[in-house]
Structure 1
Amino acid sequence: MPLAPDRRSADWRDVPSRTDPLVGRLSETIGGPIGRHAVVGRTRFFTPMRVILMLAIVFLALGWFSKAACIQQAPVGTEGALGLDWGGSRQYVAMCYSDTVPLYGAERLDQGAFPYKKWWDEEKPDGSTQRRYMEYPVISGLYQYASMTVAKAWHAASFLPGALQVALYFNVVALGLALAWLVTIWATAILAGRRVWDSALAACSPLVAVHAFTNFDPLATGFAAGGLLAWSRKRPVLAGVLLGLGGAAKLYPLLFLGPLLVLCLRSGKMREWFQTALAAAAAWLAVNLPILVLFPRGWAEFFRLNSERGADPDSIYNVISSFTGWSGFDGQLLPGEPPSILNAVSLLLFVLVCVGVGYVAATAPVRPRVAQLCFLLVAGFLLTNKVWSPQYSLWLIPLAVLAFPHTRILLAWMTVDALVWVPRMYYYLGESNKGLPEQWFTATVLLRDAAVVVICVLILRQIYRPGTDLVRFGFIDDPVGGVLDQAKDDPPKWLPQFLKPKAAASATEPSGDGLRLGDDGRSTPVG
């Protein structure tokens, strides 16, 4: 047949079946890599975005099925009353545990109570009682309340399929979290630009199948990815609003303001940073201030619990204690006594991480990309923090594929991280109940931490050897950069010399992708 008159092709788009050995081998199952003369980017229906979102839905479905065993009902109450079938420690044996299920009763949502207003007395180990409130940041708490309202309305409607309220509640929560994760993938795919297929790894991450519905973290990832997308589109106020709302769901999206600050200072774009920071503060206050004014003790519960809790099982401090018998920085604490030294040490270590990331951002010969620094900072926060709940790893997925799109390395880390869930569940089961010793669990945590550290080291290497960066290509400097993309270095004169960009000996050598790094730190195509 004659060729079509319009043969335009998106040849600038990265095609993983050609460029990635692992994807190339996997593509053999569906016919092999794309042909050398194939026209790219002309598919009408199965566009990359639609395919990636469909893949995300498949893995979200796997995530729902991985939790489904924990919402099965059975006659477990008096006179055969139906209840959750958690007999025989099903939540650990079936590895289906999700915080959303026990929190329905623990946070008094089953009573229809408004979070932060409702309180209850909880008995301490020493026999005393402690007044308790909703323990989540405001958006996460209000999301739980809204989901409970929908679940109760569903339960009251006789024409709808019936189930236990807690099961209905879980399904309502899961639907909203799935939509939030799809927003995360959608924004990540747009941010990936010419490497749009990198976001398929985020959509198909093993961590999604395990932790998409473990807690409420997809809410924060959706806001965080949306904030980065708005920044990349040079809309700093919208970026700030989304990051502020994300900070009201989980605090980590507000960490992005740190890398943006240093990069904007280096590029002379402080006006945009101030717009973003002020918008983030305004959005965060707009959500938090009403709850703070009306229910101050309930609002402060999140901060109180975080200051009083000890080292989380997944933290590096507990790993050290597990293998050495170390009693911790604070030794034996009385019930309710905060681990003051541990709090100070974890804060100090994170401050050092911030200083290190800031130094790299300010002095690297070529300005680092936003996603690279955000990954380093969030990973540093998790590694040094006293709490690394397993679902927190979802925070790193979009940042990882944008910062370091090496499929085999990222897939290895995600697989190890997801598999930590298995010994964790069987450690919680208890040795007396045929569970695993603590060291089996903490050893896998150590492997997970080591994998994250390796990725951080490789990103640092990539920053100081920008010719190895797969994202920089031709005229593409930083797809997430927004006003920073292609910007010249223009640090303020008052900045000390040791905090200014260092000259690169090979700054004008072309990279393997036809990229030349000029003296101003921008990338320009060769030839």
Structure 2
Amino acid sequence: MSTQSPAGIDEPGASEAAPRSAETIDHPSRSDWFVRGASGLIGGPLGDHAAALDRPADRESRFWTAGRIVLALVCLTLALHWVQKSPCQDGAWQNNIQYTRMCYTDVLALYYAEGLNEGKVPYADHPVEYPVLTGYFMGALGLPVHALGVDNPAINQGQWFYNLNALVLGALAVATVAVILSLRRRRPWDAALFALSPALVLTATVNWDLLAIGLAAFGLLAWARARPDRYAMLLPAVAGVLIGLGGAAKMWPLFLLGPILVLALRAGKLAAGLVATATALVSLVAVNLPVAIPYRENWERFFDLNTTRPIDWGTLWYIGRYLDGRISPSAPGELGPFEWLNANIPTLNWVSYLLFGLACLGVAGLALLAPRRPRLAQLAFLVVAAFLIFSKVWSQQFVLWLLPLAVLARPRWGAFLAWQIAEVGYFAAFYGELLGTAMSRPVFPEGVFVLASSLRLITVAVLCGFIIRDIMRPELDAVRQTYADDPDGGVLDGAPDAPWHQRWRARAAEQPAEPVPV
């Protein structure tokens, strides 16, 4: 079971009160086998007498501390992303340049498709295929650009809109890195996993996902800062509001509430979990009502689209459709099981929901049965990954959802980079598929894209496997080698398991083993 942290800097709230000199800083070149091996190319791991760059700024005269280096790196990554998308920024997508240069972005395409270039107000004048906060965000940036374009006809409105979005979304990405640094003060180099992610280079502004990611990150930070004092419910409430707003931008941040509730139940802190859940739902409803009531039909566009969409590119179901006719070919006129599901969308939806629900039950069981209470980020990654694995839609930019959770859940470079390589391969194969569709002739055999899709799915599943292993064997958890318990846990950090859970585990341990038949 989880036990109270030993006296000292690992007690809840003690990291702020303890002298900074007591902090143990992780050095990846020593603690991570992959980084340690790679460091041989530049002279080997950090030496005992080296001047480290990861000391807090107030104790170090040099400007370039680890945190500032990581923040600079994410700015560089976002600049590279902007360059990668630059061939498409003028909107003159001739000769399939958006596919050949792999620079397509919904941000620019939907400026015109959603009528923002005509001054249409999202939901009021035009249905929007995204949750309401994303629609608000589109309108908040798009309508001023349109007004500017009316007064200045010479400007390229689409390009202005894209660049304004890139600036704001980039700021949210930098803020997310700052949150990771705040949550991992003793492991500042973990944030470099996010900052240097190839997936961030390729997909940062494909859509508005960074809006939800930023809100979810700040929600996790608010939860992590909660402490069991007289204001114990304030920060969980703030966390809930931010998570609810994230859910109003993209649905997935709401999945964080499940792990919060299960862990709070095991720790006997259910009140904090319920407060976070309640405020999340209140904020979600408060953001939706101003649109749902007067513009119900346009508001329902998001739900209608998601319930009627068939199997999408690169999903588990897409792979199954490809394999239908190769592993178990059907008779002429008959449909394989995955083709049948694609032809029966309501059944496909329910099967997808059922598998995701079973996965969530499995994660909840893992949280309650693990020898030590898992960390919040570990369960959050498992739940969001399960949603992607079993969903009928897994868009190229959805990798961004997992990035901060992967960094917080398992900051190990080897498996992380293998996953990122698979995502880059999928990104390239996906644009090959799009180009082939646009030209009405394939760029490469369909099996190439299916292989890339399979590798993406497998690497995410492998990450899930590693995280489950770390939960069952907490001595292998990289974060708990630096922190005593869960730096993201807030009121859960260092708390003992609830008495009911301790009694239940004690009774389970006392159960005599079943006799083995001779």
The alignment's TM-score, normalised by the length of structure 2, stands at 0.85
Deviation at 1:258, TM superposition (A): 0.4
Q: Per the alignment, in what secondary structure is the counterpart of residue 194 of structure 1?
A: coil
Q: 2:199 pairs with 204, 207, 223, which one?
A: 207
Partner of 1:288: 288
Match of 2:491 in 1: 483
Q: Cα deviation per residue 1:350-372 (whole Å; 9 max; x = unaligned)?
A: 11001000000011110001000
CA contact (8 A) 1:264 1:484 kept: yes
Task: State how far apart, in whole Å, the 1-side matches of 2:441 and 2:203 are.
Answer: 25
Letter in 2 for 1:182: V
Q: Deviations over 1:71-107 (max 9, x none)?
A: 23xxxxxxxxxxx322211111111111112111111
Distance, in Å, in 1 between the alignment partners of 2:216 and 2:303 is 21
1:93 aligns with 2:115: no
Could you say which residue in structure 2 is the equivalent of 1:269?
A: 269
| Distance change (3 Å), C-alpha of 1:329 and 1:26 | closer
Distance 1:250 1:233 in 2: 24
Please state if 1:67 is matched with 2:85.
yes
- What residue number does 1:138 align with? 132
Q: Which residue of 2 aligns with 1:116?
A: 123
Show the 5 A alignment for 1:457-476.
457-473=465-481, 476=484
- Match among 40, 43, 55 for residue 60 of structure 2: 43
Structure 1 residue 254 corresponds to structure 2 residue 254: yes
Distance 1:86 1:327 in 2: 38
> Which of 148, 172, 183 is the equivalent residue of 1:191?
183
Does 1:420 pair with 2:426?
yes
Aligned to 2:243: 243
Alpha-carbon spacing, 1:24–1:364, altered in 2? closer, same or farther (3 Å): closer
1: CA distance between counterparts of 2:42 and 2:458? 35
Distance of 2:460 and 2:49 partners within structure 1: 39
Deviation at 1:330, TM superposition (A): 7.0
For residues 104-152 of structure 1, give each alpha carbon's deviation from its aligned partner in whole angstroms, at most 9, with x where no partner exists: 1111111110111224xxxxxxxxxxxxx11110111111111112322
Q: Note if contact 1:265-1:491 (Cα within 8 Å) is conserved in structure 2.
A: no
Could you tell me the TM-score, scaled by structure 1's length?
Answer: 0.83
The aligned counterpart of 1:314 is 314
Contact 1:330–1:341 (Cα < 8 Å) also in 2: no
In the alignment, which residue of structure 1 is the partner of 2:35?
23
2:441 is the counterpart of 1:451: no
What residue in structure 2 maps to residue 406 of structure 1?
A: 412
CA distance in 2, matches of 1:8, 1:461: 32
Instruction: Tell me the SS of whatever aligns to 2:310.
Output: coil
Alignment check: 8 A CA contact 2:341 2:348 kept:
no
**Secondary structure of 1:430's aligned partner:** helix
Determine if contact 1:135/1:301 at 8 Å carries over to the other structure.
yes
2:340 paired with 1:331: yes
- Report which stretch shifted further, 259-268 or 468-477: 468-477
Give the Cα–Cα distance (whole angstroms) in 2 for the partners of residues 283 and 29 of structure 1: 50
CA distance 1:330–1:416, shift in 2 (3 Å): closer
Contact 2:78 2:200 in 1 (8 A): yes
Question: Equivalent pairs: percent with the same residue?
Answer: 42
Distance in 2, matches of 1:501 and 1:57, equals 53
Distance 1:387 1:328, change over 3 A: farther
State the match for 2:370 in structure 1: 364
8 Å CA contact 1:268–1:490 kept in 2: the answer is yes
Indicate the residue corresponding to 1:102 in structure 2.
109
Deviations 1:351-402 (A, max 9, x none): 1001000000011110001000000110001001111111111010111111
Match of 2:217 among 193, 216, 225: 225
CA distance in 2, matches of 1:163, 1:503: 72
Cα RMSD after superposing both structures: 2.5
Which secondary structure does the structure 2 equivalent of 1:331 belong to?
helix
Alpha-carbon deviation of 1:438?
Answer: 2.6
Aligned to 2:332: none
Tell whether 2:347 aligns with 1:347. no
**Counterparts of 1:189 and 1:212, CA distance in 2:** 19
Name the one with the larger helix percent.
Answer: 2
Aligned residues: 467
Letter in 1 for 2:405: L
